[in-house]
Structures are given as structure tokens and as C-alpha cells.
A and B are shown apart, each in its own frame.
Chain A
Amino acid sequence: MTDVVLDKAPVNDTPPPPSSTLRQPRLPRWAPLGIGALSAALGSGVGLVAGLESRIQWGLIAALLYVVINYTLATLVEGSRQAKDRLATSVVWVCFLAAVVPLVSLIWETVVRGSKVMGVDFLTHSMNGVITLQEGGGAYHALIGTVEQVAIASIIAAPLGLLTAIYLVEYGGGKLAKAVTFFVDVMTGIPSIVAGLFVLAFWILYLGFDYSGFAGAMALAILMLPIVVRSTEEMLKLVPNELREASLALGVPKWLTILRVVLPTAIGGITTGIMLAIARIAGETAPILLLVFGSPSINNNPMEGAQSSLPYYVYEQWKLGNTASFDRAWAAALLLIIFVMVLNLVARAIASWKAPKSGR
């Protein structure tokens, strides 16, 4: 780790002058901020002068300048150890900003561009009869599709996942439980398009059913199942064993102990996990593309015929490739983000409100 350091000769200050040991020359406290402002200014300046059109370049130049200036100044004033520390600090800050900028831009663009056509009309109309280049139309049919497909997927996956988690935590320990644990992990890693292909192979090619919202919902359920199992498992493990033992010692049968003592204790966390899983699958596009096929008109029946869904709608409108359709795509994306964020926020609120107080 410190090979570099070893070949340095003992420096003259080995017995440091006793009075100066605590005080080291330091850069002033505002130095990082100042250097940051300076590099930002320099970065923009260089960008302007050199006529670089991409702001990304300006940012990269500024970031590089920030790291270099910080390091150089610190080496001059504070010595090499502090300089390394400053280098690490500035790199970490730059990493953070490098991540924040695109993510903020993503949210910003979606909100700004999405609010153009967002409105009552957009929420209450389908695309039926709207010609490609025409403005207007809405995402009502997609909203219906998303709600139905996600609801069906949840109805399939939530109980199955809950019971599987109960099996793993309360009845597990054997070979079967180990296999299930392993395959839950495997399932978590299945790409959504592969889940879609499986339902395609099984439901449509093998059993001969037609494209429908239900087919899409099955693929979504496959994606949701492992998330529910994992999060429920974690929550059940947090329930202190003393509670189970106390209940069993009262002569309560095991299944009632689980239903009346264990589940109510963990219910907050379990709900959170299920809601996060719903948020996750609500944004899935790929399986819908393969299994629901997309339709411009309202289809309230998820069991028969093509439907649409919000993420699919975004893709479809993007593919149409004109200004009016881009506006609709952004509006649907905004709707999707709001939907997912609200689910997330509510889920987290439940988690902190219902957090098991006696948990570790």
C-alpha cells in the first residue's frame, strides 16, 4: 500500500518542533467552494472561447480543473498527505455531481416537456382516431391498461410471494428451502424481456392464446414475485423470535401464531415491499411490447385483445417520431414518474410509520 512512501529518506523534521505539531498550514475553509466556483467559471470560459458546443464538455473541463487545482494548492500549502486527502475528497464530490447532473436533467426534462400536453383531456382520451401527426389524444387507454395489468400481476404475485417468504422464514431450513432461496435470487436477475419471451413461448405459442393484458400481467407477475419474496423475507426475519415463542408457549398453533402475531408485526414492511415491487413493474415496457401488443383504443377487458399501457405508450409515441407524439410521450413519461414516485413515497411513509419498534 505504501511502497512509494518507504523509499523516502527520513525527513529533517523527524523530531518535530514541539510547538508546531498541532498547527498545520491549512487552506481556508472556503477553499473548496472557491475553487469550485473558479473551476466552473474557467470551464465555461474555456468552453466559450474554444467554441465547444456541448455543455458536457464544459462540465468535464470544470471538473478536471477542480480536481487539479485542489490537489496542486493542497500540495503547495498543506503537504502531500493532506493533498491526497483533498484529491480524494474532490474526486468524490465530482463523482457525486457527475451523477446528479444527468439525473436532475432527466427529471427536469420530463417535468418541463411533459407538462405541455398534460391535462384533463390527456387523462380522459384515448388515441383512437388520432392521426399520427395530429395533436391531441391522450393516455386514458394506456392508464386503464397499466392499472389492470399491474393489478392482475399483483393479485398473482403478492400472495404467492408472501406465502413463499413465510415458507422460507417460518418453515424453511431444508433442501427445498435452499433451492427456493437460490432460485429467488436467480429470478431477480431475469431481464424483463426474457420473462416476456417465456410467456410468449408458453401462453401464446404453446397454449395458443391471443395477445392480451393478462398475458402481459403474467410476465409482470414473474418479475414481481422475487422482489416480494425478498422484501417480505427480510421483514419476517426482523420479527423477534421471542414473540413467536411467547405465542407458541400460550398454546397458540403455529399457523395462527404466524397469522396473528408474526404477520401483523411485520405488516408495515411487507406492505412497503409490495408497493415498491408494484412501482417497479408498473414501468416495465418490454413484456408489454411482446404480449399485450399495444392498441390505440380503449379496451377494458384485460383477458382479451390488445391493450396498451403507460410505458408502452411512451415507447409507441416516441416511435411515431413527430413533435406532437413526442409531447405525448413526455406527458406519459411524466405520468409514469409521478405514479412510481407516489407509490415509492407512500411505501416509505408506511415503512417509517409502521416500523417494528422492537426490531433490531
Chain B
Amino acid sequence: MSTDTAPASPPPPPPSPSKSAGSISSGQDTRPGDRVFAGLARGSGIILLVVMAAIAAFLAWQATTALTENEGNFLTTFEWDANADPPVFGIAVLAFGTIVSSVIAMVIAVPIAVGIALFISHYAPRKLAAPLAWAVDLLAAVPSIVYGLWGALFLVPHVTGLYEWMDDYFAWTGILEYNGGAARSLFTVGILLAIMILPIVSNVCREVFKQSPKMQEEAALALGATRWEVIKMSVLPFGRSGIISASMLGLGRALGETMAVATVLSPSFLIEPSLLDPGGGTFAQNIAASFKEASAAGIGREALIASGLVLFVITLLVNGLARLIIARRKEYSGANA
């Protein structure tokens, strides 16, 4: 197929020998049907690029408006008073909350997700494996607001016991102190985010584990390796970068999650020393929670857009890193095949 002869560079009318065989007088590219269709396809691709550019441009533009009027320090101020005159707002608390809740989520979710992936790919009874994989796929489709509702009305009351326990044994750390009240804290958010990203992380890991070369697994088996030794010798080394990129994709989800955090967290513009106590906030949660008041007047909405821009950049970096790792893995395994 001559795929690289795009209509954008109109070919000269004289019959050139390099034209694909089959077209006798008129080159394929000059057919109106072909031209229109290729143009449409190409145009769609261009629209996608334009939308991306517009997202970056408009967010940056609105953010600049807000930042020039900000009387506080955008990075270090511990409050969000964008509607006031003069407006004062900063993302310190939001950045802290976003990162902490995501890190908690990763610490809980990644090992469990790898376990689930191994369970489905190597441990589960065969009749169970396919329906399980399917069920995990379905769970990835549960809307985040449902997780949020469940988190706020079921998880929060059920973790208080656990937190009291942690307070008994780990209060001395300072970060795991619990002073009673509803457990609408960053730690609970972390647990909920972990549950939410489990399906996606384990799905990606499972795909990678499934591709691990059967030949090496058989070689290990034939040497008398136990199942765990087979996994340690041939599955995990092969899947390491896959696990990393899956985690990054999960992290991207956790960083940008809005509704589940907005429902569970009881926000404040303070950095609480203990993760078990309510308070704090995340970028996305703050946008959702402050939006209705912000829309009245002033630069409230612009300020929220500015914080959204920061979130956008962070998730871009994380996702970009994940894709980079996946791309490198492809090259690596391609060279090895």
C-alpha cells in the first residue's frame, strides 16, 4: 500500500512510474472520493491536535489572569480566598493533599494489584480465571461517584475502628494519630483511591504477565522450579517495567480523581500533621467544592483554573513517564524476541 502519498502534497499530473500499480490514467490520489475521505481523516487528526493546544492555551491564559491578581503566593499560601478583594490563594495545601493521598493509594494498591494480576494469570483455577478477569474489567467501569458515595456512607464509618487501633499502636509517629470524629481524612481518601485504581493497575499488569514468554516459564518448570520460583525467574523480570508503567497510569488516575475525594474528604486549608484526622484537600476536590461559590464574581473561577492547570501539568508528566516506559519496553522486548 502506498500510504505515504498524502493528498496534502499534490502529485504532478504527468504519470509517474512510482504510482501504485492499478491506476492507469489518473493517479489514485486525484480521485475525488479518495481526496475527500483522506482529507476528512487527516482533518480529524488535526482537530484533535487543535483541541489539545486549545486546552493548554485557554487554561494557561485564564490562569495568568488569576495569578496576576493574586495577592498571596500561589505556591506557598495556606488559604483559598479567591473571591475576596484582593484575592488571596495558594496551592500548598492542595499539592500536599493530592500527593499524600495518591502516595497512600499507590502504596496500598500496587502490591495488591500485582497480586491480583498474578492470581488471574498464574494462580486462579482455570475455570475461574476468565470470569475473574472479566469481573475486574467491569469493576473498572464503575463510575467514580459511586465509589465516592460508598466511600462516604460505608467506608468512612467502617474504618474508625481501624484508625483507633492504629492510634493505639502508632500514635507516636505523629502521622498516624487519630482524635476521633468521622474518618473523613486523607488516609481514608487514600484507601478509597487505592480501591478505585486497583482494577486498572491489575488489568495492565495482567496483560503484561500474560505476555511473559512461555518458553522461559517451561524452562524453569523443567528445571524443577516451584510456581513461585517460575514467577520470580521468568515472569517478574519480564514484567517489571510493565508493573511500573501500570502504577504510573494508576497514579495519574488517583491524582486527578475528583468526586470520590470530594465526597469523602472533610476539607480544610490546613496541613494536618496526622493523616488520619480530617482536613486538607486536593486540587480536583477543591475545584469541585469551591466552584459554586466561586462562580459569583471576581476571579474565583480563574483561580480554580490556575490550580487545574497545575493538576494538568502533573498528570501529563506522570502519564508521559508511563508511556515512555511502555515504549521503551516494547523496543526492548522487540530486540529480544
| Interface of A toward B, CB cutoff 8 Å | 1, 52-57, 60, 81-82, 84-85, 87-89, 91-96, 98-99, 102-103, 105-106, 109-110, 113, 159-161, 163-164, 166-168, 170-174, 176-177, 179-180, 183-195, 197-198, 200-202, 205-206, 222, 225, 229, 241, 244-245, 248-249, 251, 253-256, 258-259, 276, 279-280, 282-286, 289-290, 311, 314-315, 318, 326, 329-330, 333, 336-337, 340-341, 344, 348
Contact = CB atoms under 8 A, between A and B. Distances in A.
Given A176-B46, A256-B33, A283 B161 contact: no
A341 B141 contact: yes
Contacts of B40: 163
A93 B119 contact: yes
A57 B243 CA distance: 29
Contacts of B316: 186, 189
B115 A248 contact: no
Given A85-B226, A89-B227, A173 B145 contact: no
A285 B154 contact: no
Contacts of B155: 102
A54 B6 CA distance: 65
B28 interface: yes
Contacts of A255: 31, 33-34, 36-38
Interface stretch (B76-84, B86-94, B172-180, B301-309): B301-309
9 contacts: A92-B118, A179-B49, A189-B249, A189-B252, A193-B287, A248-B22, A254-B34, A286-B287, A311-B143
A96 B206 CA distance: 13
Contacts of B150: 105-106, 109-110
Interface in B1-50: 1, 3-4, 6, 20, 22, 28, 31, 33-34, 36-38, 40-49
A254 B36 CA distance: 11
Consensus secondary structure, chain A interface: helix
Interface string B277-291: 000000010011001
B262 interface: yes
Contacts of B305: 197, 200-201
A193 B288 contact: yes
Contact of A56 (B1, B149, B162, B233): B162
Contact of A282 (B46, B143, B262): B143
Given A54-B161, A314-B146, 11 more contacts: A52-B165, A56-B158, A163-B41, A170-B3, A176-B42, A176-B45, A189-B319, A195-B55, A285-B258, A286-B288, A336-B145
Contacts of A289: 288, 291
Closest 4 A-B residue pairs measured CB to CB?
A283-B143, A191-B256, A95-B115, A54-B161
Contacts of B198: 99, 103
A340 B115 contact: no
Nearest to A192: B258
Central interface residue in B46, B58, B316, by most chain A CB within 10 Å: B58
Contact of A191 (B61, B226, B257): B257
Given A184-B48, A198-B55, A314-B145, A109 B228 contact: no
B54 A99 contact: no
B324 to A, nearest CB: 10
Given A56-B161, A98-B112, A172-B3, A311 B145 contact: yes
Nearest to A204: B301
Contact of B1 (A187, A201, A248): A248
A193 B138 contact: no
Nearest to B284: A193
Interface of B: 1, 3-4, 6, 20, 22, 28, 31, 33-34, 36-38, 40-49, 51-52, 54-55, 58-59, 61-62, 111-116, 118-119, 123-124, 134, 137-139, 141-150, 152-155, 158-162, 165, 195, 198, 202, 226-229, 231-233, 249, 252, 255-259, 262-263, 284, 287-288, 291, 301-302, 304-305, 308, 311-312, 315-316, 318-320, 323
A191 B159 contact: no
A95 B112 contact: yes
Contacts of A249: 22
Contacts of B44: 159-161, 163-164, 167
Nearest to A343: B141
A85 B122 CA distance: 13
A92 B34 contact: no
A267 B146 CA distance: 32
Given A160-B47, A286-B288, A191 B258 contact: yes
Given A93-B119, A176-B46, A253 B158 contact: no
B259 A286 contact: yes
Contacts of B6: 171, 174
Given A99-B112, A180-B49, A286-B258, A330 B312 contact: no
Contacts of A245: 1
A171 B41 contact: yes
Contacts of B116: 95-96, 99
B154 A173 contact: no
A285 B145 contact: yes
Contact of A54 (B20, B146, B158, B195): B158
Contact of B142 (A55, A106, A330): A106
A253 B62 CA distance: 47
A197 B146 CA distance: 22
B119 A167 contact: no
Given A110-B146, A314-B149, A167 B41 contact: yes
Contact of B147 (A106, A191, A344): A106
A331 to B, nearest CB: 11
Given A222-B51, A314-B145, A315-B262, A286 B252 contact: no
